[in-house]
């Protein structure tokens, strides 16, 4: 074989390999699953409001390992973002907030893998609960199992009248394991929590509102709009004051009254020498809207 023919063959092989690699790379890109959790930072007058959008329509936003990782990455990003003041969790999938854990995926897991997954889910919801800024769940359609547990980890819950809530885990011979037994009980009381978990029954939006499970129940399709209104109201307030208020409430409720009042005093004291407090007083005197900077 001549040197020229060898070069030609070598060039063709290289080109072939290149095409194969490009085809493979294109195939991977085209078949890669879309992000099931999307982060949306609002701008303009709504700057400071952050949306976490659930978007896994093929499984009604059921949380699989990939989606759980997406939630972890998203909320870790929010925690590090000093400009974030309010978080809204909402769904881009019509008629559903979150159907819970992905039971099809769970069937393929060993007991140890299930244990690790549920621990990770519990940690994720505790992470959301521990954020220093307010969190709002805007709920349309079903919020079941882990979906309800995620909503319970938020500070506020706003639902459309088409919403359906439930913790059906006992029907699968397990219990709510990502915080449901604890957060539901603290929210609606021991007796109601036991009835809902023991029976696993679903409740509609009206009953959820009566039991104190949600803060607002609005016309179906209007949950996001109402959540945005609430987020905007919060966003106008002093950001450091909101953080201290959340800290005083969340930590104070876990202790006795005397200790809670001491915590309240400590939180108030941290606000006395802030620029925002002086700006609030000046704006009040000048009859204008305050311009808070979080300092």
Q: Quote the tokens at residue 280.
A: 């609030």
Using CB atoms within 10 A of its CB, is residue 192 exposed (0-12), middle (13-18) or buried (19+)? middle
Query: Catalytic: which of 70, 137, 143, 149?
Result: 149
Whole-number Å distance between alpha carbons of 13 and 134:
59
Whole-number Å distance between alpha carbons of 36 and 54:
6
How many C-beta neighbours within 10 Å does residue 142 have? 23
Q: Is 146 a catalytic residue?
A: yes
How many C-beta neighbours within 10 Å does residue 80 have? 8
Q: Is 149 a catalytic residue?
A: yes
Q: Is 169 a catalytic residue?
A: yes
Q: Are 153 and 129 in contact (CB under 8 A)?
A: yes
Q: Which helix (H) or strand (E) holds 284?
A: helix 275-286
Query: Catalytic: which of 169, 177, 205, 208?
Result: 169
Query: Catalytic: which of 146, 166, 177, 180?
Result: 146
Query: Catalytic: which of 59, 62, 99, 101?
Result: 101
How many C-beta neighbours within 10 Å does residue 98 have? 29
At 152, phi and psi to the nearest 5? -65, -25
Q: Are 214 and 208 in contact (CB under 8 A)?
A: yes
What is the distance between the terminal CA atoms of the chain, rounded to a whole angstrom?
78
Q: Is 138 a catalytic residue?
A: no
Q: Which residues are catalytic?
A: 101, 146, 149, 169
């Amino acid at each position: 074989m001549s040197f020229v023919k060898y070069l030609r063959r070598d060039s063709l092989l290289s080109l072939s390999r290149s095409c194969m690699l490009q085809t493979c790379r294109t195939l991977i890109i085209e078949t890669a699953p879309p992000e099931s959790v999307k982060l949306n930072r609002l701008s303009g007058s709504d700057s400071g409001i952050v949306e976490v959008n659930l978007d896994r329509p093929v499984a009604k936003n059921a949380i699989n390992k990939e989606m759980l990782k997406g939630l972890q990455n998203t909320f870790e990003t929010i925690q590090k973002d000093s400009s974030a003041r309010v978080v809204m969790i909402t769904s881009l999938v019509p008629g559903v907030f979150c159907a819970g854990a992905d039971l099809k995926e769970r069937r393929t897991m060993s007991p140890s893998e299930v244990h690790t997954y549920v621990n990770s889910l519990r940690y994720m919801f505790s992470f959301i609960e521990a954020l220093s800024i307010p969190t709002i769940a805007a709920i349309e359609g079903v919020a079941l199992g882990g979906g309800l547990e995620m909503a319970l980890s938020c500070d506020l819950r706003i639902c459309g009248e088409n919403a359906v809530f439930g913790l059906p885990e006992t029907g699968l011979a397990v219990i709510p394991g990502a915080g449901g037994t604890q957060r539901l009980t603290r929210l609606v009381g021991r007796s109601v929590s036991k009835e809902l978990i023991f029976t696993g029954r679903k409740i509609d939006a009206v009953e959820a509102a009566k039991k104190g499970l949600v803060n607002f129940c609005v016309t179906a399709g209007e949950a996001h709009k109402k959540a945005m209104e609430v987020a905007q109201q919060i966003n106008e307030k002093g950001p450091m004051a909101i953080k201290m208020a959340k800290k005083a409430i969340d930590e104070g409720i876990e202790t006795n009254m005397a200790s809670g009042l001491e915590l309240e005093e400590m939180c108030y004291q941290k606000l006395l020498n802030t620029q925002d407090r002086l700006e609030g007083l000046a704006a009040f005197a000048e009859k204008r809207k305050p311009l808070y900077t979080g300092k």
